[in-house]
Structure 1
Amino acid sequence: MTRSFAFAFAVFALISTGALAQDAADATPVPTTMEEVEAAYRSQDFVTARAGLRHLAETEPAGNVMYRYARILLDPRAGPVDAPAAAIWLERAVEADYTPANTLLARVFLSGGDVERDPEHAAQLLQDSATRGDQEAQYYLALLYEAGDGVAQSERDAFVWYRAAAEQGHVEAAYSLSRAYSRGAGTELDTDKALHWLERSAGDGHVDAQFFLANALETGKGARQNRNEALNWYRRAAEGGHILSMRIIGTKYLQGEGVYQDNDAAMTWLTKAAEGGEPGALYNLGVIYGTGQIVERDDAKAMSYFESAADTGLLRAIGMQAAFLEAGRGAEADLSRAVGLYQTAAQEGHVPSQAALVRLAVGGDLDGLTTPHDMVALVAAAATDGDEAALKWLERASEAGVGPATTALGALLLNDTARADEGVALITKAARQGNASAQFQLGEAFSTGVGVAQDYEAAHMWLNLSAAQGHRQAGQSRDVLTDLMTPEQIRAAQTAAREFQPETPAGGVDQ
């Protein structure tokens, strides 16, 4: 069965079974002329317009009529959306050589849902319309080439069709063309042309273009720096619904950056951005209510905003949520939950959360909430930066048999001339107990002669033992050292490594 015959048969089946119901009350007269349909459109009586277009499509099946009927079948204002029926009428309009039908039918095939997705057929339809100058078809065809959807991926073809559509005034295509020039995708990188098309799409109301133009003007990257003009574009983007621009404008009013400080305007824009779920705006409002700097302090509101921002993964919001829980602000104090949040943020590199955990650890407030092993790396980093309380914590943990603490303390003291011998002793103790990190540290010390007399054989042995436990850097250092050693030294070091037996920690403490 040919596609044309199949669609014609489907139309007959739909009509005969009543599947194309009019969706209008029987008492409402059905328009029988295009003038009556237009009148229904003007009065926003889309249900009546749909009934009239159905009548005209069935009795006067011209390409433009079938196309308009298909469009209204896809319009929820006119009744239940019927994509399969729309596809049938669009196919008939395509066969009647009505070019706009190609583009709309292609979009139906790309959308999926009630009509099986068919990007290959969509690409063929778009190619036909694009070559006839249809800017919508040119834009969607460019999208397919950029994604390699239904066609072989081609940045060059995508660029060509974006340019064709943009030159006809297609706003989205102009923005995409700007991006292509800025990245050199499918064409030579050209910042001047990128800026030209960015300005053109921004001027035509494309909010993303307005935002990026504002950013370029503010930073001077991609355009001559002009902060006043940048502010204007941020404002236009914000007024057009661009959520990040709302937050930026609100923050500028809050801080008086490039504008007179205006707390009311700041709250207006930040609230709008927060309602759109913008993480930075949620966080900023949390700070505002938590500090009471321009509104009455409200810890409950602050906590609510921090929680919402934290749910987006914003690390500083997670840290503030933890701080409020620790202090019992805006919610009942919950140190266990606070510690969990601090750990989540700290693992992603949030420095204030790392500092909070160190503070709690050295103060003895983490007992029962975390293990000493979990805190060694953070406390050791603080001790390296000169935190005496952190150093004392490492000493206590080492004395308690926490192997990683012994290794960290030893490495720290090794770089302290006055306590280098003590550092070597600690690292040696941990290395002999089988700690891979300590074995690496000791191997490095023997290799460089830092804190101990230089000894390539001892260095090779310890590095070899560490590498055998999976310490990648140890293996690399051992291989470099091997090139400096004689065959006899290498054999001796390998024999020592084979004969090594780790010592059991005093008291059997897990290292």
Structure 2
Amino acid sequence: MLTSRVFARGLGALIFAAAVPTALALDGPRPAASPVIATSPTEPFKSVRDAFKIGIRDYNAGDKVGAVRALEYAATQGHTMALWKLGRMYAEGDGVMHDDLKAFEYFSKIADQYADESPTSANARFVSSAFVALGGYFLEGIAGSYVKRDVNRAVDMFYYAASYYGDPDAQYGLARLYLEGIGVEKDSRQAARWLHLSAEKGHHAAQALLGNLLILGDGVPRQGARGLMWLTLAREAADPEKDAWIIELHDKAFAAASESDRQAALAYMQQYLSKNR
């Protein structure tokens, strides 16, 4: 894998290639390309920034139609946050009909135009988030579209966002690939490394997986107390409805832990919270 900005500059071509069907019959009809961005609305805006501000204002006020109109105007001018917000709206069916292909294309435009964005820039978190979203789409593919499952591209998307931008979601996603041996050779130590980077940023799912890995000593040195510490932190942040698996892992580990490990885990957790307060 490449880790430099040379890799970043190559991602534009990578995304573009993924967005063009390659198995078309030479003498057959070519499918119409799905537009990445809708046509500009007729309503004038003072500036791209003004359009984005109006879009977010309308979104927060519950006017999703007005929000999409303004955001699309800003997106046609390459506004990063407008592209990202529209991608999220289509990915989640938030105020628009759920459409993963449209979401993919909005995120692709960000990756194509802003792959070399500085990690310290205001737009960095939106760019890295777009790469994470693309990684997820390449990992599964989009049914009924030209976006096919491609685990190698998924690895590239996660790796770039995880290493260049330090994105905790990307680090978690990459760790999962190493744990399961998808697109990479199965490697618990590499998984633990990426999980630790993500866990340190407060990613509670990464904290849970890292804690469980350390408690089991599966491919890594067993560290029961430190593993219980990570699981406890994850348990505190877990949503009872969405993260039942985290609660189950914690409760099982806590019940099996010795009193000395419980006390050590508490001390580790106090150190962690003090450092990150």
The TM-score by the shorter chain falls in which range? 0.5 to 0.7
How far is 1:7 from its partner? 4.5
Q: Which residue of 2 aligns with 1:89?
A: 70
Query: Pairwise mapping of residues 49-448 of structure 1 onto structure 2 (< 5 A)?
Result: 58=45, 60-61=46-47, 63-75=48-60, 79=61, 81-112=62-93, 114-131=95-112, 132-133=114-115, 134-149=127-142, 151-167=147-163, 168-241=165-238, 243-246=244-247, 249=250, 257-259=257-259
After TM superposition, give the deviation of residue 105 of structure 1 in Å.
1.3
Report the Cα offset of residue 98 of structure 1.
Answer: 1.4
Q: From the superposition, tell whether residues 256 and 101 of structure 1 become closer, same or farther in structure 2 (CA, over 3 Å).
A: closer
* TM-score, normalised via structure 2 length: 0.66
1:140 partner letter: A
Q: What residue identity is the alignment partner of 1:8?
A: P
Q: Secondary structure at the match of 1:189?
A: coil
Contact 1:180/1:187, CA 8 A, preserved across alignment: yes
Q: Which runs of 5+ in 2 are unaligned?
A: 1-34, 116-126, 263-277
Kept in 2: contact 1:235–1:245 (CA 8 A): no
Contact 1:195 1:222 in 2 (8 A): no
Summarize the Cα distance change of 1:146–1:204 in structure 2 as closer, same or farther, 3 Å threshold: same
Q: Which has the larger radius of gyration?
A: 1
Residues 177, 183 of structure 2: 8 Å contact kept:
yes
Whichever residue aligns with residue 176 of structure 1, its letter is G
Cα deviation for residue 224 of structure 1 reads: 1.0
The alpha-carbon deviation at position 188 of structure 1 amounts to 2.9
Tell me if the contact between 2:211 and 2:231 (Cα under 8 Å) persists in the aligned partners.
yes
Q: Within the alignment, does 1:8 sit opposite 2:41 as a pair?
A: yes
Percent of aligned pairs sharing the same letter: 24
Alpha carbons of structure 1 residues 67 and 169: separation in structure 2 relative to 1, 3 Å: farther
Q: TM-score, normalised by structure 1?
A: 0.37
Q: Is the 8 A contact 1:214 1:231 kept in 2?
A: yes
Q: 1:121, CA displacement in angstroms?
A: 2.9
Evaluate the alpha carbon distance shift between residue 123 and residue 74 of structure 1 in structure 2; reply closer, same or farther with a 3 A threshold.
Answer: same
Q: Distance in 2 between matches of 1:117 and 1:188?
A: 34
Shift of 1:183: 2.0
The answer to whether the 8 Å contact 2:51/2:73 transfers is yes
Match of 1:410 in 2: none
Task: List 4+ stretches of structure 1 deviating above 3 A.
Answer: 2-7, 242-253
Relative contact order, higher structure (CA 8 A, sep 6+): 2
Taking a change above 3 Å as real, the CA distance of residues 142 and 252 of structure 1, as seen in their structure-2 partners, is closer
Structure 1 residues 89, 199: closer, same or farther in 2, change over 3 A? same
- Rounded Cα–Cα distance in structure 2 between residues aligned with 1:66 and 1:115: 18
1:452-489: CA deviations, max 9, x gaps?
xxxxxxxxxxxxxxxxxxxxxxxxxxxxxxxxxxxxxx
- Secondary structure of 1:8's match? coil
RMSD between aligned alpha carbons?
A: 2.9
Per-residue deviation, 1:126: 1.2
**Deviation at 1:209?**
1.1
- Cα pair 2:90 2:97 within 8 Å, conserved: yes
* C-alpha distance in structure 2 between counterparts of 1:5 and 1:226, whole Å: 53
| 5+ long unaligned stretches in structure 1 | 13-57, 263-511
The residue identity in structure 1 corresponding to 2:148 is A
Following superposition, the deviation at residue 184 of structure 1 comes to: 2.3
Q: How many residues align?
A: 208
- CA deviations 1:263-307 (Å, max 9, x no partner) are xxxxxxxxxxxxxxxxxxxxxxxxxxxxxxxxxxxxxxxxxxxxx
